Amino acid sequence: MSNVIIINGTFMNSYSQIILSPFFQRILTEYVTYLKITDRDLLGALKPFKSGERYDYKAITEFLYALSLEPANEIATYSQNGCQTCLYQFLEGLYSYWRQKQRFIVKYEKYQKTPEEREGVVKGAIETAQEFENTMRNFHRSLQLNVSKREMKVFRQDPGGAQATFLVDKSLVPFSKRIGEKWMYSMPFIWSVVVEPPVIFYTKSNKRKGVFPVIDEEILDKISLDPKKWYVLPLRVGRHLIYFYINQKYLVHAVGLANLYELADQSELGEPDGLVIFGYPFEKCKSSYRNGVIYHDGFYVGIIPDLAENDYFGYAKKILLTVHNLKVIDEGRLPIHGSLAKITLKNGKSANTMFVGDSGAGKSETLDALGRLDEVSNVEIIIDDMGSLDIKNDKIVAYGTEIGAFVRLDDLPPGYAYATIDRSIFMNPNQINARVIVPYDNYTKIIEPTRIDFFFYANNYTFVEREEDRIKFFKNAEEALKVFSEGARMAKGTTAEKGLSHSYFANPFGAIQRREKHEVIAKKFVEKMFETGVKVGEIRTMLGVAGYEKQGTNMAARALANLL
């Protein structure tokens, strides 16, 4: 039973339109089936519409429409045989069941030529979503009132509409520029997304495991996707264009991706630098490329099968970054799994500091702790999780990939997420490895080359007592490369790993798959850092040391501020 509801984007501002819609009929039948298993007593509300073991859904629909207009005791089909107490509870449960679903409006709108015209279309979509929200809420309240006849004194504006609206159109890529197969351009392309934050999504999985293998194989001509069930997000991942094909069952992750990456302008689309297919039928996946990346005739195709265990945003984010990083390595640049921030003190001193480390190493937590120190004026996040290094004018520079952060809440102070609650998307906040996607909207900044002053490995497992041991600088490139290559980290529950684990260069997203080529590039860049005065070292966050999960990053932040 799918947890996703897709609502046609036509204007829906009447009770009759809602009650006759396919999504309402689906919710009603699903809820009755659910009650047969969990609470059969509540089904007493539908006694007048039951014959044997079957329910007359057409009669139920007609009754609910009548109930939205007049009291239950005045409706002939119900006044004699119905249980109004059960009915009230049934309706409350039905509305809660609806609100537990992931609810999306998909509206087909032609991509307009000018920004002004596009803005008008988006405003219309926003109005449609708001009207739908109000109509759903008022419909529920009318049913409540006509059953209980109790005057309501407190009105809670529970969100009951769509959590996001997608504006889609056919592909605008000229035929002469098409690469690969025609199916790639037959899907609806998403050109704008309207999010109604704060949004909370619950997915079937909450952690990622393993790495994505790379297989050299012809793949594009073997794939077929149904345009009625798939959508395309054209994303700018750093400076690369990647088409993300997503099964409608996983549209929740499309919302997250739109909050984390720059949505490419439809008028600028052309040949992609890579593809991702998320939610591909498992039975169609060869065992060799299940959860893998296929190198096909010059570019990469990431595949995530349609499995409950893959219903986690980390898979969408990391397969996308793996495709990006493999492309970066082929270009001779160095992909970095880490964070970069410009740290400015109140005395005017500043430094661009990069932290390298796998998930749970303490990168985001240390930057957050830095931002709360009295002597720190500003921490400008340029790269949150993944970037790449290049050499420009004989200097090491960095580029980012994302316009937001996918942050683990467990190790952050409560105020971190609430400070941006009006813009954030929360994922599984009731579980270990709870996450929040916080947008920065800094695409112009992340694709500009940014010089690096400090290059640190984020060590979360070494316990240190002395302040002078919290930051250690390497003497030479060989010593640094040894630590970075070992990629040691104490697992924090963000993946299936436990205890002290190792990941080459803390980057299982491309570096380990192309290790031989990566080692040559890494040696070149680290040696260049020592040659050009970039300070290369290790910062001990102690995020993986029991009892120091929060205190450790605070102490590491203090040591770095003192260093600056």
Domain boundary among 113, 148, 183: 148
- Among residues 148, 176, 195, the one where a domain terminates is 148
Distance of CA 344 to the CA centre of its chain: 29
Query: Are 252 and 285 members of one domain?
Result: yes
Q: Looking at the structure, do residues 63 and 120 belong to the same domain, yes or no?
A: yes
Mean pLDDT of 39-51: 88
311-325: pLDDT as tens digits: 999 999 999 999 999
Supply the angle between the helices 515-532 and 477-486 in degrees, to the nearest 10: 140
Question: Domain count of the chain?
Answer: 3
Q: How far apart are the C-alpha atoms of 516 and 509, rounded to whole Å?
A: 14
36 in any annotated domain: yes
* Helix 115-148 and helix 84-99, axial crossing angle in degrees, nearest 10: 160
Q: Are 113 and 204 members of one domain?
A: no
Same domain, 237 and 339: no
pLDDT at residue number 175? 55
143 SS3 class? helix
Q: What's the length of the chain?
A: 564
Residue whose pair of structure tokens reads 């002004």 in the numeric block: 116
User: Which helix or strand (DSSP H or E) is residue 84 part of?
Assistant: helix 84-99
Burial label for 70, CB within 10 Å (0-12, 13-18, 19+), is exposed
pLDDT in tens, 84-142: 778 899 999 999 999 999 999 999 999 998 999 999 999 999 999 999 999 999 999 99
Residue 492 and residue 537 in one domain: yes
Q: Is residue 285 part of a domain?
A: yes
CB 386 within 8 A of CB 505: no
Same domain assignment for residues 47 and 139:
yes
- Residue-wise pLDDT for 127-184, tens only, equals 999 999 999 999 999 998 888 877 777 777 888 899 999 999 998 886 555 666 888 9
Question: What is the average per-residue pLDDT within 340-367?
Answer: 92
* φ/ψ (deg, to 5) at 92: -60, -45
Kindly state whether residue 434 falls inside one of the protein's structural domains. no
Run of H or E residues at 455:
strand 454-459
Rg over CA atoms, the chain: 27
Domain range spanning residue 276?
A: 167-329
Contact 531/519 with Cβ under 8 angstroms? no
Cα separation, 287 vs 369, whole angstroms:
44
Q: For Cα atoms 397, 519, 500, give the angle at the middle one, nearest 5 degrees.
A: 95
Query: Is 247 in the same domain as 339?
Result: no
In a domain, 409, yes or no: no
What pLDDT band is residue 438 in, cutting at 50, 70 and 90?
confident
Give the torsion sign (CA, 446, 448, 454, 457).
Answer: positive
Position 497 scores a pLDDT of 61
Shared-domain flag, residues 238 and 121: no
Q: Are residues 363 and 504 in the same domain?
A: yes
Whole-number pLDDT of residue 451: 96
Tokens, residue 392: 């420009």
Residue 28 pLDDT class (50, 70, 90 cuts): very high
Taking alpha carbons only, the member of 14, 15, 53, 147 closest to residue 93 is 147
Residue 153 belongs to some domain of the structure: no
Q: Is residue 69 one of the residues assigned to a domain? A: yes
| Average confidence (pLDDT) over 457-468 | 93
Q: What is the CATH number of the domain that holds 547?
A: 3.90.228.20
Inter-CA distances, 298 with 275, 327, 478, Å = 12, 10, 33
Q: Is pLDDT larger for residue 189 or for residue 429?
A: 189
Using the predicted structure, report yes or no on whether residue 407 has a pLDDT greater than 90: no
Last residue in a domain, options 286, 311, 329: 329
Residues 375, 298: one domain? no
Distance (Å, whole) CA 532 – CA 395: 7
156 is a domain residue: no
Q: Answer for the pair 484, 522: CB distance below 8 angstroms, yes or no.
A: yes
The better pLDDT of the pair 544, 297 is held by 544
For residue 79, what are the CA distances in angstroms to 32, 51, 62?
Answer: 21, 18, 15
Residues of 170-205 as b/e, b for ≥16 C-beta within 10 angstroms?
ebbbeeeeeebeebbbebbbbbbbbbbbbbebbbeb
Q: Please, which residues bridge with residue 299 across strands? A: 296
The answer to whether residue 465 is domain-embedded is yes
Q: Which of 324, 328, 381, 323 is nearest to 355 (CA)?
A: 381
